Structure 1
Amino acid sequence: MITRRLGVEAALVEGRVQRGDLSVEGGRVAAVGLGPGVRGGGIAVPGFVDWQVNGFGGVGFRDADHAGLASAAGALAR
């Protein structure tokens, strides 16, 4: 089984921020608080998914017209 370090500064564990990197093995957190962590590496938060999308399929949402938005929405739905 492959063990991988995430390269984060801290992790949210049971509602508390714990400083240090963490490792993942088999898709599960194996260890938390490994060393000093990676400065600026962010915080690992279980279950948090950032769904913000600024564009897709070559269409930028900021300046897109109706046809562009429809095209991007269709591409995202696939």
Structure 2
Amino acid sequence: MLAKAGFWQRWAGTPMNARQIKLLNRLLDGFAGQLTSGKWAAIAKCSSDTALRDIHELLQRGVLVKRDAGGRSTSYALASPTSGLEVP
């Protein structure tokens, strides 16, 4: 719970929409598996284009990082506050 509070404290000044907040909370609560744009769209109940826009905004702001796999296997993780690497 402290990690979740610290995360939101760190990103308090970053503009985010309701979908982004919902999905980030899911990740912080221990999301099972890997987060893909398809899963984002299903959980947030939005189109895949909207999911990609949400993800790209968070990538640009440094909130998320793209994992190594690419193409259809592209997935995303929370960025580490200190190293810029993903949080397991």
TM-score, normalising length: structure 1: 0.21
TM-score, normalising length: structure 2: 0.20
Structure showing greater radius of gyration is: 1
Task: Please identify which structure carries the higher strand content.
Answer: 1
Task: Please identify which structure carries the higher helix content.
Answer: 2
